[in-house]
Amino acid sequence: MVSTHPARVQNSARQYLSSDRPDRSPNQQLLPLTARANSQDSLEIGGCEVTALVQQFGSPLYILDENTLRTACQQYRQALERYYPGAFQVLYASKAWSCLAVCAIAASEGLGIDVVSGGELYTALQAGVSPEKIYFHGNNKSVDELNFAIEAGCRIVVDNWWELQTLVNLSATYQQQKSNLDAASETALWTSTETKTQILLRFTPGIECHTHEYIRTGHLDSKFGFDPNQLDEVFTFVSQQPTLQFLGLHAHIGSQIFERQPHRDLAPVMVEWCSKAASYGLPVAELNVGGGLGISYTEADDPPSIEEWVKEVAEAVAAACQERQVPLPKLLCEPGRSLIGPACVTAYTVGSQKVVPEIRTYIAVDGGMSDNPRPITYQSQYRAAIANKMSAPLTETVTIAGKHCESGDILIKDIKLPPTEAGDILVVMATGAYNYSMASNYNRLARPAAVLVNNGEAHPILQRETYQDLLRQDCLPERLI
């Protein structure tokens, strides 16, 4: 029987439903925006009952709510429209979850895509994203990857001297070949802007965030980007390269950030470098402030909303430009976690339990560190609910263990749940970012399927791996047979 008594609701998984807080941004919610408890006391997302999804698509299962993802994309765009007086472009940082469907949804909402490898670039292109809306990052792009990016015609965010010099050589070769082809067809494109390799320069701005604190230093110990004291030399070099088209500057100060001040501080630092770049004949057309807005993984997390974050960033950039008399560049930001993180839950089936008297009760599920490596890697905290017992009082304190051969494979320590038995469906919240994209086959577990849910319909977007998939890349030399 479903209780609607407020005290019971507070002490049940219903407290996590976003319908109770419609005013909040997706990144401030633990469950996707469409999460509801139905008359069977069972969790629904996107109008689909979670237990039915598990029956149909298997377990564990990533369940991605299209409405939440689209809403987050729209909130970024609408806030930029409201608070930034110039042109803008939101990019989805696809490292958070790269697959065809997610890139296609982001692109259909007008977003570009930030990629950090040939694989992510290939995925974005195959999803139909226009190359000029793809930005290629990375501190050690290979020659193959650089050639791929040049030929695809995407933007390259140059990270270091080696890459810059390599890019000059590769671009010259590519453009020479192209010009030979063009000469054959009597169309000379050799020096046209479109043929040049479009670049941004990434630098370390001297602002470093560790989630709940940040520091400002002159020089940062970071593997990414040019050190600021290299920039004058870099600007001189870039201004002399006929094969490169300089578009602008990039900086990214960290991830899962709740503070506003670091983003306010970043703006004048970046704009000062815009002004310097212009003095080398390199006007900054695009200014990319990176991503980093945090999300709520537990009730204790209190990130700014998407709108608040954009307002801070946009107003700070516009004010710094006005102060320094720098023309307003196109403002780019590249959120990952805050777009996709809250849109997904992972559903697991509960299996064995182990009671260690007076110490702890372990409840084991059919996945773990292979589908969500964040708890073992970063000691990340999560919340979970039993999808088929949404109103049941949370009377037990238990620890959710994965099934891997690793003592540290614990998904959630000391969480409040109702009495739980084998076959119950446990839903871990806010697993859209850095879960599937960091998943592995550790212990030769097949990676889970993912479904996209919307308006009562569910469509697979990632097939569940099979045992045959696990062997696909294996080779057995004949002498071993």
Ligand X SMILES: Cc1ncc(COP(=O)(O)O)c(C=O)c1O
> Which region among 183-191, 330-338, 364-372, 459-467 touches ligand X (by CB under 6 A)?
330-338
Q: Is 96 in the site for ligand X (CB under 6 A)?
A: yes
Give the number of residues in contact with ligand X, rule: CB under 6 A: 17
Of residues 112 through 151, those in contact with ligand X by CB under 6 A are: 114, 137
User: What is the token pair recorded at 397?
Assistant: 């304190």
Alpha-carbon gap, residue 403 to 98, rounded angstroms? 25
Q: Locate tokens 């076959």: which residue? A: 423
Three-state secondary structure of 258-301: CCCHHHHHHHHHHHHHHHHHHHCCCCCCEEECCCCECCCCCCCC
Convert 388-424 to b/e letters by CB count within 10 Å (16 or more is b): bbbbbbbeeebbbbbbbeeeebbbbeebbbbebeeeb
Q: Which residues of 111-121 are buried (b: 16+ CB within 10 A; e: fewer)?
A: bbbbbbbbebb
334 near ligand X (CB under 6 A): yes
Distance in angstroms (rounded) separating the CA atoms of residues 208 and 263? 10
CB-nearer residue toward ligand X: 199 or 350 = 199
Which runs of consecutive H residues, i.e. helices, occur in 35-142? Answer: 50-57, 66-83, 100-108, 118-126
Choices 1-9, 117-125, 236-244, 286-294 (CB under 6 A): range interacting with ligand X? 286-294
For ligand X, give the closer residue by CB, 60 or 225: 225
Q: Residue from 32, 228, 262, 290 that binds ligand X (CB under 6 A)?
A: 290
E strands present in 77-164: 88-93, 112-115, 134-136, 155-158
Chain positions 247 to 276 lying near ligand X, rule: CB under 6 A, are 252, 255-256
Site string for ligand X, 368-407 (x = CB under 6 A): ----------------------------------------
Among 292, 304, 329, 448, binds ligand X (CB under 6 A): 292
Which range of residues in 47-55, 212-220, 284-292, 305-313 is near ligand X by CB under 6 A?
Answer: 284-292
Least gap, CB of 133 to ligand X (angstroms): 15
CB of 310 to ligand X, least distance (A): 13
Minimum CB separation of residue 157 from ligand X in Å reads 8
Q: Catalytic annotation on 321?
A: no
Q: Which stretch binds ligand X (CB under 6 A): 239-247, 263-271, 287-295, 442-450?
A: 287-295
For residues 271 and 70, what is the distance between their CA atoms, to the nearest angstrom?
31
Q: What is the spatial distance between Cα 205 and Cα 349, in angstroms, rounded to a whole number?
A: 45
- Strand pairing report for 134-136 and 360-365: unpaired
Q: Rule CB under 6 A: is residue 335 a binding residue for ligand X?
A: yes
Of the candidates 145, 157, 90, the one whose C-alpha atom is nearest the C-alpha of residue 120 is: 145
Peptide bond between residue 60 and the one before it cis (omega within 30 degrees of 0): yes
**Dist CA 404 CA 458 (whole Å):** 29
Q: Of 114 and 163, which has the nearer Cβ to ligand X?
A: 114
- For 308-375, what is the HEC assignment? HHHHHHHHHHHHHHHHHCCCCCEEEECCCHHHHHHHEEEEEEEEEEEEECCCEEEEEECCCCCCCCHH
Which residue from 291, 342, 368, 418 is in contact with ligand X, where contact means CB under 6 A? 291
Asked if 448 interacts with ligand X (CB under 6 A), we say no
Q: Closer to ligand X at the Cβ: 60 or 335?
A: 335
Give the nearest distance from C-beta 18 to ligand X in angstroms: 20
What is the spatial distance between Cα 313 and Cα 6, in angstroms, rounded to a whole number?
39
- By CB under 6 A, tell whether 69 contacts ligand X: no
In whole angstroms, the minimum distance from the beta carbon of 217 to ligand X comes to 19
Choose the stretch contacting ligand X; rule: CB under 6 A; options: 121-129, 304-312, 332-340, 368-376: 332-340
Which residue in the list 103, 344, 405, 475 is annotated as catalytic?
Answer: 405
Closest by Cα among 308, 438, 427 to 37: 427
- For ligand X, the closer of residues 303 and 402 by Cβ is 303
Token pair of 126 as six digits: 């195959």
> What's the closest the beta carbon of residue 337 comes to ligand X, in angstroms?
4
Q: Between 183 and 222, how does the x/- string for binding to ligand X read (CB under 6 A)? A: ----------------------------------------
Alpha-carbon distance of 148 to 402, in angstroms, equals 39
Give whichever of 289 and 386 is closer to ligand X, judged by the CB atom: 289
What is the number of residues in the chain?
481
366 binds ligand X (CB under 6 A): no
336 binding ligand X? (CB under 6 A):
yes
CA-to-CA distance for 37 and 387, rounded, in angstroms?
9
Would you tell me which residues interact with ligand X (CB under 6 A)? 93, 96, 114, 137, 252, 255-256, 290-293, 334-338, 433
Q: Which residues are catalytic?
A: 405
